[in-house]
């Protein structure tokens, strides 16, 4: 008994000493291609509707949409944060990933089981035994087993699950940011439809007045029926175009409703038309983008997780030591079941090592090494895509600022041309067709101006999204926070 206990003590002490000998590659963050400055920001001379960020100038933490100073948009974004179902699903994934960390940590501790039982047995008398042919056995055993983490398998599993949970948390923020940006873009596209509705309503009114004038001139013998027919055709076509705007506006309204977590049938946004313009947006330098994008953070955490998985796979090359203890009571009499003479126990270590597996473990390590290389490539591609999105939207804002200025000049010229055409028609110099041509040109220019402003607002939303929406990597939960027990998140409110 003494020798057995002493042997177990030596094994346990050796296990504790070796528990720090974790195997596996040390993680270093992979390099990613960056540039010293954004090309499109330099091309814009840091002017217009965006600017270089100063040390104290940054997007608002969380509520980036408040930069647009739109009370209606602010309310919708708050509803989205509470009721959006995609965000709720991503939040549930974070809770599940946190539970997996605690599952892995449970392997640090012994497993204790109990298996009490009462068994009635009958022995064969064919071998000449004279004992009773049946008896009852009363068992109350307790078993405990512990596998010390000699090679860091458990520690690396905990680390891998923690990294996966951080990636899941970053994915949640990316889903949230995408939904917020989609809602803002849909909102401004809806408002663009409102502006087009206001434009076409006023145009229909102007065409009705022109039709009335043409009819009066026709009745006075100063115009022919062809001019009246042309005016009627122009009016009816514009009325149809005006009515058709309701289709796209309804679709944008329904999209906003779903993003806000509400049934479209119970949701509406009052019509409101006004001139829109993007707010100043601090851009910063490309190196900051690596810390400000949740999708980049998620990709980087996936790389770290894949690195930990290589270490877990390498532990399979080393032996596993298990310490087992069993104790309890066993008796054939219920009256003597729990008495001291009925005690039983066993204790001892066990060593397991794979001798031959036909290259299985080596292939497994190679599999995880290839998976690591894949995550590195995915991370670098995510970084490149992020830079592309920023440059795309910077270019869009820079070019659209020029386009809008040019389009407004074209609209003013078209309006002046219409005034001249109407004057010459009333004077009997030109036919009414010249007036219709001028009206069509003006309407097309006005619609183009509204559409360009819509593109500008959407591009400003997409630029903020591309910059991370005010998020940064410091908002990722720490290992301690992820390992704490949490209750399941409540279902979002409808």
pLDDT digits (tens, 9 = 90+) for 40-56: 877 655 444 444 444 33
Rounded Cα distance, 437 and 85, in Å = 50
Give residue-wise pLDDT tens across range 107-124: 999 999 998 988 888 776
Instruction: Find the mean pLDDT for residues 24-33.
Output: 88
Sign of the alpha-carbon torsion through 402, 404, 407, 411:
negative
Please give the helix or strand (H or E) that residue 214 lies within, else none.
helix 153-219
Q: Which domains does the chain have, with CATH numbers?
A: 20-113+149-319+360-483 (1.20.1600.10)
pTM for this structure?
Answer: 0.86
User: Above 60 in pLDDT, residue 275?
Assistant: yes
Residue 57: its pLDDT value, please? 47
Work out whether the CA dihedral 123, 124, 128, 134 comes out positive or negative: positive
Query: 308-362, pLDDT tens digit by residue?
Result: 999 999 999 999 999 999 988 888 878 888 888 888 889 999 988 999 999 999 9
- Is the confidence at residue 3, as pLDDT, over 60? no
Burial class (CB in 10 A: 0-12, 13-18, 19+), 21: exposed
How high is the pLDDT of residue 137? 86
Residue-wise pLDDT for 400-411, tens only, equals 999 999 999 999
Q: Using CA atoms, how far apart are residues 471 and 28, in angstroms rounded to an integer?
A: 23
pLDDT at position 184: 96
Classified as helix, coil or strand, 20 is coil
What burial class does residue 397 get, using C-beta atoms within 10 Å of its C-beta: 0-12 exposed, 13-18 middle, 19+ buried?
Answer: buried
Contact of 323 with 12, CB cutoff 8 Å: yes
Q: How does pLDDT run across 452-470, given as a tens digit for each residue?
A: 999 999 999 999 999 999 8
How far the first Cα of the chain sits from its last, in Å, is: 67
Q: What is the pLDDT of residue 12?
A: 47
Position 58 pLDDT exceeds 60: no
- 6 contacts: CB under 8 Å, gap ≥ 6: none
pLDDT above 90: percentage of residues in the chain = 63
pLDDT at 39: 87
Query: Alpha-carbon distance 434 to 189, whole Å?
Result: 33
């Amino acid at each position: 008994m003494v020798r057995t206990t002493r042997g177990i003590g030596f094994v346990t002490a050796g296990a504790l000493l070796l528990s720090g000998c974790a195997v596996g590659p040390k993680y270093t963050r992979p390099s990613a291609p960056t540039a010293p400055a954004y090309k499109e920001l330099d091309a814009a001379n840091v002017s217009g509707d965006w600017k270089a960020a100063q040390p104290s100038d940054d997007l608002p933490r969380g509520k980036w949409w408040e930069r647009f100073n739109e009370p209606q948009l602010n309310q919708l974004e708050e509803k989205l944060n509470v009721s959006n179902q995609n965000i709720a699903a991503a939040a549930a994934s974070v809770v599940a990933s946190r539970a997996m960390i605690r599952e892995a940590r449970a392997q640090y501790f012994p497993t204790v089981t109990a298996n009490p039982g009462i068994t009635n047995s009958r022995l064969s008398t064919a071998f000449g035994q004279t004992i009773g042919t049946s008896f009852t056995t009363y068992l109350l055993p307790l078993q405990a087993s512990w596998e010390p983490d000699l090679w860091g398998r458990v520690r690396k599993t905990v680390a891998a699950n923690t990294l996966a949970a951080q990636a899941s948390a970053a994915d949640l923020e990316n889903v949230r940011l995408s939904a917020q940006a989609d809602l803002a873009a849909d909102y401004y596209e809806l408002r663009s439809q409102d502006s087009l509705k206001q434009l076409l309503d006023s145009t229909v009114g102007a065409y009705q007045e022109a039709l009335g004038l043409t009819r009066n001139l026709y009745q006075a013998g100063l115009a022919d029926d062809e001019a009246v027919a042309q005016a009627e055709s122009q009016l009816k076509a514009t009325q149809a175009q005006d009515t058709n705007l309701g289709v796209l506006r309804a679709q944008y309204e329904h999209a906003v409703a779903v993003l806000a977590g509400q049934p479209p049938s119970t949701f509406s946004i009052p019509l409101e038309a006004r001139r829109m313009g993007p707010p100043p947006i601090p851009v910063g330098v490309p190196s900051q983008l690596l810390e400000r994008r949740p999708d980049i953070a998620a990709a980087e955490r996936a790389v770290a997780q894949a690195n930990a998985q290589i270490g877990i796979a390498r532990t399979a090359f080393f032996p596993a030591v298990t310490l087992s203890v069993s104790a309890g009571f066993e008796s054939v009499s219920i009256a003597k079941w729990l008495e001291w003479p009925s005690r039983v126990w066993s204790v001892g270590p066990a060593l397991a090592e794979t001798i031959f597996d036909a290259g299985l473990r080596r292939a497994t390590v190679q599999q995880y090494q290839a998976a690591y290389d894949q995550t590195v490539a995915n991370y670098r591609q995510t970084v490149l895509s992020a830079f592309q999105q920023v440059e795309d939207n910077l270019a869009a804002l820079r070019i659209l600022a020029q386009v809008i200025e040019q389009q407004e000049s074209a609209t003013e010229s078209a309006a002046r041309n219409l005034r001249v055409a109407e004057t010459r028609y009333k004077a009997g110099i030109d036919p009414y067709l010249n007036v219709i041509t001028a009206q069509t040109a003006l309407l097309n220019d006005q619609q183009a101006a509204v559409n360009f402003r819509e593109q500008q607002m959407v591009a400003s939303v997409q630029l903020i999204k591309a910059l991370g929406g005010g998020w940064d990597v410091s908002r990722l939960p720490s290992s301690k926070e992820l390992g704490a027990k949490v209750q399941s998140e409540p279902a979002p409110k409808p």
